[in-house]
């Protein structure tokens, strides 16, 4: 029982450090979300996605974007099933993924990379199927691998 308690304590500590590490990114997301409240954005805490979510984001082409521990979402919630970047590139026939699960992977990636996430994200290919961070988020949302691109796939 003591080992379990210690493990739980260490997990909580690592999560808190991750939240602090990506705080500059989260503050950008928080600012974007707050600015959209007068136009219909609705904030809520999502324990399952480990983020503050702004649903009904009034601008953009649709979908969601993560900044640290903040998810900006154009839909009413994160339960929508969406195509992966591989779908959009015509590279696969896999099932659609839960939008919130995909974005949760990005939350964990941000918590590990902190302020280095955004520069690395764009160096690795930005919003595209070529980006290993996006492919990992898709695999994670499908239950086929880790949210971290270099830990490999679950077989």
Whether residue 134 has pLDDT greater than 80: yes
pTM for the predicted model, two decimal places: 0.90
Residue among 73, 17, 71, 83 nearest 47 (CA): 71
pLDDT in tens, 49-95: 899 999 999 998 788 999 999 999 999 999 988 887 777 777 667 78
- 58: part of which helix (H) or strand (E)? none
**Maximum distance among all alpha carbons in the chain?**
50
pLDDT of residue 30: 98
Q: How far is CA 47 from CA 50, 60, 79, 133, in A?
A: 5, 25, 14, 22
């Amino acid at each position: 029982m003591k080992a379990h308690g210690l493990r739980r304590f260490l997990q909580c500590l690592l999560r808190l450090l991750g939240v602090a590490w990506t705080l500059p990114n989260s503050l950008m997301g928080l600012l974007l979300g707050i600015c959209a409240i007068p136009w219909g954005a609705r904030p809520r805490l999502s324990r399952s996605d480990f983020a503050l979510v702004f649903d009904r984001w009034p601008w953009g082409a649709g979908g969601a974007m993560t900044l640290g521990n903040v998810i900006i979402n154009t839909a009413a919630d994160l339960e929508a099933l969406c195509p992966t970047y591989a779908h959009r590139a015509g590279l696969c026939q896999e099932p659609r993924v839960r939008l919130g699960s995909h974005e949760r992977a990005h939350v964990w990636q941000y918590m590990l990379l902190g302020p280095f996430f955004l520069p690395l994200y764009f160096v690795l290919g930005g919003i595209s199927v070529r980006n290993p961070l996006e492919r990992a988020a898709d695999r994670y949302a499908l239950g086929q691998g880790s949210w971290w691109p270099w830990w490999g796939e679950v077989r």
